[in-house]
């Protein structure tokens, strides 16, 4: 099969090559991949993968070999999947890491949702009821941000979307943001929940905006800069504020099914900012690094 693998000895950091077809084990399915999603972190950190490792995590396609030892998707089912080694013609996923796609859903659109959708959904879910609360989302023009804006609005929150420039804010109001602002300096009122994707000084400033009893989820670090909290900034009168990390990608199948259903019903729009052949990954990666993509990259395995 053809696959995109890590190649730390090359300028691009990856190459397309031929590999033996993978074989599913107990509790796994084999998927013929038709579309894959590319996350910004995967492009920024290509150097952490060992040479020859199949890259990627987000995929959508058709099951060619179903689970052999229990329930799960069957041969021919259209599925969306999350797991390492997704950028290949054939990929193996755990049964609890795939979801059958509703007939009304566009299979290609769903390929960009696993990583960003799971992150947005699970962080908002652990924030408690959102109805009437103010949710601040930094880096809102990215994949996580665009999904989080929609889910927070569906939950009844007042959504403040923070972007780096006016151009990056295009379309966020249509997705459900009540306010779209450039930079955190434009936010003056306290907020109840923060989804923080930038890190560094952004995280520190967002922490300062958190109301008593609020929670800040640190779910990204696009700035690559350290966060230095001022002395005593972690103390405040009233209910305790919380800073949380996020990295729970365990057993994502049921949540992938929920996201797929929302897309099928028109309640969630996939954050596709660039689409093209997987033969154009180099071009797409450059566009992502240069911040010319709002949302995620969708590659078709044509």
Which residue segments constitute the domains of the chain, with CATH numbers given?
2-112+270-300 (3.90.180.10), 116-245 (3.40.50.720)
Compute the distance between CA of residue 99 and CA of residue 102 in angstroms, rounded to an integer: 9
One digit per residue, the tens of pLDDT, for the chain of length 302 reads 999 999 999 999 999 999 999 999 999 999 999 999 999 989 988 989 999 999 999 999 999 998 666 677 989 999 999 999 999 999 999 999 999 999 999 999 999 999 999 999 999 999 999 999 999 999 999 999 999 999 999 999 999 999 999 999 999 999 999 999 999 999 999 999 999 999 999 999 999 999 999 999 999 999 989 999 999 999 889 999 999 998 889 999 999 999 999 999 999 999 999 999 999 999 999 999 898 999 999 999 99
**What does the alpha-carbon distance between residue 92 and residue 88 come to, in Å, rounded to a whole number?**
10
Residues 115, 120, 125, 128, Cα dihedral to 10°: 150
Q: How many whole angstroms separate alpha carbon 258 and alpha carbon 111?
A: 14
- Crossing angle of helices 114-125/253-264, nearest 10°? 100
DSSP 205-231: HHHHTEEEEEEEEE---TT-----PPT
What number of other Cβ atoms are within 10 A of residue 100's Cβ? 17
Q: Please give the Cα distance from 289 to 28 (Å, whole number).
A: 34
Give the C-alpha distances (Å, rounded to integers) separating 172 from 38, 40, 265: 21, 19, 20
Q: In this structure, are residues 45 and 220 in contact, taking their beta carbons and an 8 Å threshold?
A: no
pLDDT at 67: 67
pLDDT at residue 17, as a whole number? 96
Tokens of residue 228, six digits: 């230095």
pLDDT for 68:
61
Strand 14-18, strand 2-6: pairing: antiparallel
The residues near 18 (Cβ < 8 Å, ≥ 6 apart) are 1, 2, 3
Q: Which residues contact 101 (CB under 8 A, 6 or more apart)?
A: 60, 77, 78, 79, 80, 107, 110, 260, 264
pLDDT at 104: 93
Q: Are 54 and 81 in contact (CB under 8 A)?
A: no
Please name the residues in contact with 210: beta carbons below 8 A apart, sequence gap of 6 or more. Answer: 190, 191, 192, 194, 216, 241
Q: Copy the structure tokens of residue 217.
A: 């989820």
CB 16 within 8 A of CB 4: yes
Packing angle between helix 143-154 and helix 114-125, nearest 10 degrees? Answer: 40
* Pick from 42, 12, 9, 87: nearest CA to 222: 42
Residues facing residue 191 across a β-bridge: 210
Give the closest residue to 154 by CA, choosing from 139, 171, 176.
176
pTM: 0.94
């Amino acid at each position: 099969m053809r696959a995109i693998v890590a190649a730390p000895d090359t300028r691009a950091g990856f190459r397309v090559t031929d590999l033996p077809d993978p074989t599913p084990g107990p509790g796994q399915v084999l998927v013929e991949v038709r579309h894959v999603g590319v996350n910004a972190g995967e492009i920024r950190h290509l150097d952490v993968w060992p040479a020859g490792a199949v890259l990627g995590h987000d995929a959508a396609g058709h099951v060619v070999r179903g689970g052999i030892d229990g329930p799960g998707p069957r041969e021919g089912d259209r599925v969306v999947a999350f797991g390492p080694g997704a950028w290949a013609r054939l990929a193996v996923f755990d049964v609890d890491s795939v979801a059958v796609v509703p007939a009304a859903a566009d299979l290609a659109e769903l390929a960009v949702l696993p990583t960003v959708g799971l992150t947005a959904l699970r962080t908002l879910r652990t924030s408690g009821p959102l109805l009437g609360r103010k949710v601040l989302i930094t880096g809102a023009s990215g994949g996580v941000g665009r999904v989080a804006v929609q889910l927070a609005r569906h939950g009844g929150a007042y959504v403040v979307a923070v972007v780096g420039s006016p151009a990056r804010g295009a379309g966020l109001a249509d997705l459900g943001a009540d306010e779209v602002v450039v930079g955190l300096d434009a936010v003056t009122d306290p907020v109840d929940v923060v989804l923080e994707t930038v890190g560094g000084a952004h995280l520190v400033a967002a922490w300062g905006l958190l109301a008593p009893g609020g929670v800040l989820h640190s779910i990204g670090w696009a700035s690559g800069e350290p966060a230095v909290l001022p002395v005593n900034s972690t103390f405040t009168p009233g209910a305790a504020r919380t800073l949380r990390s996020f990295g729970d990608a365990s057993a994502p199948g049921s949540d992938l099914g929920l996201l797929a259903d929302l897309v099928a019903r028109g309640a969630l729009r996939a954050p596709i900012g660039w689409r093209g052949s997987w033969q154009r990954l180099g071009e797409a990666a450059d566009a992502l690094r240069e911040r010319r993509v709002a949302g995620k990259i969708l590659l078709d395995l044509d």
